[in-house]
Every structure is written in structure tokens, then in C-alpha cells.
Amino acid sequence: MKSFYLFCAAIAASLLLLAGCQKPDTCTQVSKYTIYTPVFMDIADLRKAVKSEAPHTIQQPGKIYLLGHYIFLNELNKGIHIIDNSSPAAPKIIAFVNIPGNVDMAVRGNILYADSYRDLVTLDISNPAAIKEVKRLEDVFTNRQQLFFTAAADPNKIVVDYELRDTTMTSNCQTIEMIVMDNAVAYQSTKAPSSASMALGKGGSMARFALLGQYLYTVDITSLSAFDIQQPLTPVKKSKTEITGGIMGGGMIETIFPYRTNLFVGGQRGMYIFDASTPESPAMKGRFEHAQKCDPVVVENDLAYITLRAGNTCSPNQESSLMVLDVKDIMAPKLIKSYPMTSPYGLGIDNGNLFVCEGATGIRFMNADDPAAITQLAQEKGLDAFDVIPHNKILLVTAKDGLYQYDYSNMLQPKLLSKINITVKQ
């Protein structure tokens, strides 16, 4: 699976000088580049594009969300696959919702919230095979620019893709060449509607949004935003809080996880705990800093589990690990123990059953009843795992080659129930 951060890393790597030569009286250098030519879409066309369609093949999956017997699987920047999971051994894709620029989604009751580049889209999913847009909040996600990118010059257009072309350039050694790009394929997200009596879904650990009470919280690379969703169809943005340690502090904010009245925000430089008891303006109460690494977090029984992935854009010279923290006192989180890992991505926790995605190494099935003595019970190899959702002894796993489901009622011998294959784009 191609992630946004791997995409950024490829761009950054393409700007490095790869070769050079010297002569007694002159110096030239040969630089290799990948040129990214932006593909534009009119905002007006973008805002008319949401529609329910027949099932599509899965080509580049992103985030997952689970509600009842339905799985919602993002197709990166394209839309959402709707999967009937009444039988986990035989899941069936029943529809695709075309949503340009979609990365995240969440569901409560019959309402699905999804991002569409700048906008927050509200969808009626009472008939999952014929989902309809019922409301759009325009320009609520204004921070669409990412590292290495700038905004489109025309405010009536948005960059929806890039055409790639490799090239080389010879220049004087004293000349610094740079490629200017016009925007980015972005993220941003939302999480869903109204009253506490409505059925609430469950997202993975890589989410950039969280639903808590009557509020929706989203994170971008530097900040936390709060939306009042007491009226499910008309969210109202209430506040935006800059997070110390964001990109200006040396690391991007990456994930958010709700627990009780708190929000646990994962970033490349640490975990930040926000008290949301005043929901319209959550306040940071505690933090736990670490070396710069990629950092999703999940919480159960006042214990926070954080995977720290080194390498690539995260931290090329550090070791990967799983950290367990006591967060009963949110103002003073304490490290219980750190466990070495290979290359961890998403993770999940369910009644002491811990699941860690390890990329090409597969998935670790672990017993976390004693946080100071976590043990591995099993490991599933042969899949490049990205994120998980454990629920009712069924583990959903997004991987490079498909959507997997495992029965983990026996953690020593997890059983593969099904796999929906991904069709690799040629």
C-alpha cells in the first residue's frame, strides 16, 4: 500500500544529487529528478461528483471503518467501497461511493461523514447500495497543503493527481536546482453524527479524526480542530488549536484516538493528551515525548500503546518499538516498558489482546494482560499489513495485497476467514 508519507519521502529523495564529477578547472554535477506535473480539477466539478456507483475493484486502499455488518474501505483519494460483512468468511463488495479527494470517513447511525479535499460531506447511508449526499460544508479543511507542496494558483481549481516523469539535469556544482510543485494529494477527515443512542462505528489506529460525545475532532499536520455535531447534518467548527511539537517543532501530527473524555494525539515527536471535558475547546494536559518516529496510539484501561516506526521519513537512525504507558494521570503519563519491533504501523487492542501490524513482516498477535510482560502468541506472515480493527473476535486487516479477516478467538492459532484481493493498477 502506498501511503502519503512514503509518497512525500519519494519526492524528497528525488531532490537529492545522485552523481557528480570533477575536473581540475571546473565542476559539474548530474542530478536525477522525478518531475511531478499537477492534474487539475475544477472545484465546481468536484462538488458535483459524489455519487453511488456499482462495485469497483480495490486498487489503492486506505483507511477502514466498521459499523454493524458493514465495512467502509477508503480507495485513496477516490471514494469508499461498501462491503457487506454479514458473513466474515464471504464478504461482498456491494457498492462504491465516488468521492474525489476522500481519505477518511466515519459512521454513526445512518449518516456517514467523509472528507472531499477541502470539504466535509454528509451522506445518507440508510440504503448502503444507494448512498446520497445530503449536505456539504465547503472549505472547512483549508490546510490541504502538505510538506513539499504549495497551493494551486487558481482558487477555482484543485490538484487531484500528479503525472510523473523522470529526467536528469547537468549543472555547475555551485548551482542548487529545485523543482517547484503546485499542490498535494492530501488527507484530512471527519467523524460522524449525533445522539449517543445511535450506533457508533469503529475506526483504525491511523485515523486523523475522532468522535467524542457531540463533537467531531480532526487533526492535520499541526493542529486539532473541534466541530459541534449536535445537529448531525450541519457540523459547526468551534475551534482550532495548534499543537506544540507539530511540524514547526520537528514532527508532524499523525493520528487521534478518543478515550473517555480525552483525546490521545500521536505525532512524530510524541503523544499529546487533550482533555475534552469542555468539548468546544479541548486543552492539552499531558504529553510524552520521544525521538522523532511515526506514532499511532490506542488506549484501553488507562494504558496507552504506541508503535514507533523508524526509517523512511520518520527517523532513519532510530530503532522501532512498541511503548506501553500508564495514562491514568493524563498530566503525567509514565512509561511502563518499551518492546523492540521490526517496522510497526497500525495497532489494535481488545480486552488485553494486542495486534501490531509490522508491514512486510505481517501481524503480531500478542497477550498484553500484563503491560510489563507482553508476550507474542502468534505471527501471521505473508502479508504486508498496514492497519487493523479488532471487534467481536474478528480482526480486520488492511494490507498491500488485500483486505484480510481473521478469527482470533484462539490467539495462539488465529484463523484466516477471508481475503478480498486488491487489483494492482498497471
CB 378 within 8 A of CB 365: yes
Burial of 235-269, coded b for 16+ CB within 10 Å and e otherwise, reads: bebebebebebbbebebbbbbbbbbeebbbbbbbb
Distance CA(83)–CA(94), nearest Å, equals 6
Domain count for the chain: 1
Cα–Cα distance, 11 to 134 (Å, whole number): 37
CA–CA separation, 156 vs 272, rounded Å? 36
User: How far apart, in whole angstroms, are the C-alpha atoms of residue 426 and residue 406?
Assistant: 29
| DSSP-assigned states of every residue in 249-291 | GTS-EEEEEEETTEEEEEESSEEEEEE-SSTTS-EEEEEEE-S
φ/ψ of residue 289, rounded to 5: -95, 150
Q: What pLDDT is stored for residue 247 in this prediction?
A: 45
Looking at the domain assignment, is residue 235 inside a domain?
A: no
Is 290 domain-assigned? no
Q: Is 46 left (phi over 0), alpha (psi -120 to 50) or beta?
A: alpha
Q: Which pLDDT belongs to residue 177? A: 43
The answer to whether position 405 is within a domain reads no
Spatial separation of the C-alpha atoms in residues 179 and 397, rounded to whole Å: 37
- Give domain status of residue 269, yes or no: no
Domain-embedded: residue 87: yes
CB 404 within 8 A of CB 419: yes
Residue 159: what pLDDT?
77
Find residue 73's DSSP bridge partners.
64, 81
Residue 146 placed within a domain: yes
Rounded Cα–Cα distance for residues 296 and 358 (Å) = 13
**Chain position carrying cell 493520528:** 255
Rounded distance between C-alpha atoms, residue 388 and residue 357, angstroms: 7
Say if 77 falls within a structural domain.
yes
C-alpha span between 91 and 69 (Å, rounded): 10
Identify the CA nearest to 218 among candidates 349, 115, 102, 97: 115
In 3D space, the residue among 354, 352, 251 whose CA is nearest the CA of residue 306 turns out to be 354
161 lies in which domain range? 1-193
Residue with cell 457487506: 84
Residue at 285 is within a domain: no
- For every one of its 426 residues, what pLDDT tens digit does the chain have, with 9 covering 90 and above? 444 444 444 444 444 433 444 444 566 767 676 777 778 888 899 899 999 999 999 998 888 999 889 999 999 999 999 999 999 999 999 999 999 999 888 887 788 888 898 888 989 988 887 889 999 989 888 765 444 445 566 778 887 777 777 777 666 554 444 443 333 333 223 333 333 345 667 888 888 878 888 888 888 888 888 988 888 888 888 998 988 654 445 468 888 899 999 999 988 888 999 999 999 999 999 999 865 566 689 999 999 999 988 765 544 446 889 999 999 999 999 999 999 998 899 999 999 999 999 999 999 999 999 999 999 999 999 999 999 999 999 999 999 899 999 999 999 999 999 999 988 665
In angstroms, the first-to-last Cα distance of the chain is 14
